Structure 1
Amino acid sequence: MEHQETAAITSADITRTKKYSPSIRLWHWSNAVIITGSLLTVLVNSTVLKPWANARLISDKLKEKGINVSDDQTRSAAFVLSDKVWAIHTYLGYVLVALLVFRIVIELFGLADKTLIGKIKAAKRSFLSTKENRIANRNEMLIKMLYILFYILLILMAITGLALAFSDNIPALKQMHFIREVHEFTMYLVLGFIIIHIVGICIGERKRHKGIVSDMINGGWV
């Protein structure tokens, strides 16, 4: 009898699978770190290291010491600091592009039931085939589809970011001033998604999806 119970438990363990694969978890947390770092560089350059404000500050401080410099010299000094931060922003952008390619590879070659498209199809089947929990199944399907929008935004941000990074070497790109505007606008949309994502996680942890964060760390079980 004991042997049969042990065999049953072992059999049950074999059929259990992780909700999130190691590759998805690696991508998720790496992506979170890189996007956070990228947004921080934008925040720093638009506040603490804002070139025009710092140029006036440098000029005023030098005048207090009896040193007279031209506006061009103070602007150059202010932009040196800003440019260093933008350089970090660019390198983080390259990593973000690499992570995006990695995510696409996971989607194309991962297990069908673990891919985003596979999960959307599963949620759709549950919504259409069962009358129980229809609202929950519908919400699950909509949330998964919202992630598709997020990936589209990431792709758009990556493309425009690369265009800006190589604009000095490609004259045609330098003339397309709208690229910067699209890149900045997309960044705000991504930031909005992140806020919604965090709020959604907090709500889920308090209600019917407890353990979301821990599942993304250790993989969870289904």
Structure 2
Amino acid sequence: MALIEPTRHDVQHPSALKRYSFPLRLWHWVNLIVISGSLITVLINSTITDDRATSKLMKDEIQKTGTTLTDNQTQTAAHALSDSVWGVHIYFGYALAALLAFRLILEFFQLADQKFIRKLKSAYRQFNTIKKNREVARHELTVKAIYAIFYALLLVMAITGLFLAFEDALSAYKSIRHSVKEVHGFCMYLILAFILVHLIGVLLAERKNEKGIVSDMINGGNTNN
């Protein structure tokens, strides 16, 4: 579990805390809200507003009033309810795509010591050249590699999600819709796995010698600890 725990200190300057710019912190927390909202809409549509379960519930409840509806009528109403939730999901998807674009643009304007690519290269270089702190460098490299995979998953999710949202305009590629939907759904599970690993890592780090990681992502790492 130690390899998934984030650290507060810079791998090149162990005595210095990592710094997080305000735009990066804003992106982190808004991204959390958007991804959570997106996943919640998926959960709702797979449980509460599932077409089959909802149409049966509608039919049973309406029959109690003495009115009779056909299966087709209740299924149409249930599908409309499900579509309204998917509509919210699509808006979360647009927000996620916008946040990803913002993060990519932000990378070019971050201070040199706060650029993700620079930190990833630095951790890799530290691991390959410095034997004394190899364990620390290996840990940092593993954490950064997991984050890099997360960014790649977000990119795939955004691209496949936009494809599904604009499938009518992309009718020429209708034959690959099912495959794109499968990739989109699979990436969702991988992102869920990342979130779980990330939360476990943060909780473990907070309980050990890296207490203050969450507050650093709020105040930017400006404490004097």
Q: Tell me which interval the TM-score lies in, with the shorter structure as reference length.
A: 0.7 to 0.9
* Equivalent position of 2:204 in the other structure: 203
Secondary structure (helix, strand or coil) at the match of 1:175 reads helix
Compared with structure 1, are the counterparts of its residues 170 and 127 closer, same or farther at alpha carbon in structure 2 (3 Å cutoff)? closer
User: What are the within-5 Å matches in structure 2 for residues 138-177 of structure 1?
Assistant: 138-176=138-176, 177=178
Whether the 8 Å contact between 1:205 and 1:211 is mirrored in structure 2 is yes
Shift of 1:69: 1.2
Percent of aligned pairs with the same amino acid = 50
- Rounded to whole Å, the distance in 2 between the matches of 1:208 and 1:18 is 15
Asked if residue 21 in structure 1 is aligned to residue 21 in structure 2, the reply is yes
Q: Which has the higher contact order (CA 8 A, sep 6+)?
A: 2
Deviates more, 1:84-93 or 1:132-141: 132-141
Supply the AA of the counterpart residue of 1:82.
S
- Rounded to whole Å, the distance in 2 between the matches of 1:174 and 1:125 is 45
- Rounded to whole Å, the distance in 1 between the matches of 2:191 and 2:137 is 25
Unpaired segments of 5 or more residues in structure 2? 1-15
* Equivalent position of 1:184 in the other structure: 185
- Rounded to whole Å, the distance in 1 between the matches of 2:104 and 2:209 is 30
Supply the AA of the counterpart residue of 2:112.
A
* Equivalent position of 2:80 in the other structure: 80
- Rounded to whole Å, the distance in 2 between the matches of 1:18 and 1:202 is 18
- Rounded to whole Å, the distance in 2 between the matches of 1:18 and 1:196 is 21
How many pairs align? Answer: 207
* Equivalent position of 1:10 in the other structure: none
Secondary structure (helix, strand or coil) at the match of 1:145 reads helix
- Rounded to whole Å, the distance in 2 between the matches of 1:169 and 1:69 is 35
Shift of 1:52: 1.0
Shift of 1:18: 6.3
- Rounded to whole Å, the distance in 2 between the matches of 1:221 and 1:127 is 27
Compared with structure 1, are the counterparts of its residues 153 and 43 closer, same or farther at alpha carbon in structure 2 (3 Å cutoff)? same
* Equivalent position of 1:34 in the other structure: 34
* Equivalent position of 2:69 in the other structure: 69
Whether the 8 Å contact between 1:164 and 1:173 is mirrored in structure 2 is no
Secondary structure (helix, strand or coil) at the match of 2:210 reads coil
Q: Max radius of gyration: which structure? A: 1
Secondary structure (helix, strand or coil) at the match of 2:102 reads helix
Unpaired segments of 5 or more residues in structure 1? 1-15
Shift of 1:172: 2.2
Asked if residue 219 in structure 1 is aligned to residue 220 in structure 2, the reply is yes
- Rounded to whole Å, the distance in 1 between the matches of 2:216 and 2:169 is 44
More helix by share: 1
Shift of 1:155: 0.3
Shift of 1:17: 8.3
- Rounded to whole Å, the distance in 1 between the matches of 2:222 and 2:118 is 17
- After superposition, the C-alpha distances for 1:53-97 in whole angstroms (9 at most, x for unaligned) are 111111122222221211111011111211111111000100110
Supply the AA of the counterpart residue of 2:119.
K
The TM-score, its normalising length taken from structure 2, stands at: 0.86
- After superposition, the C-alpha distances for 1:11-34 in whole angstroms (9 at most, x for unaligned) are xxxxx8861011110110110000
The TM-score, its normalising length taken from structure 1, stands at: 0.87
- Rounded to whole Å, the distance in 1 between the matches of 2:126 and 2:18 is 20
RMSD: 1.7
- Rounded to whole Å, the distance in 1 between the matches of 2:189 and 2:199 is 15
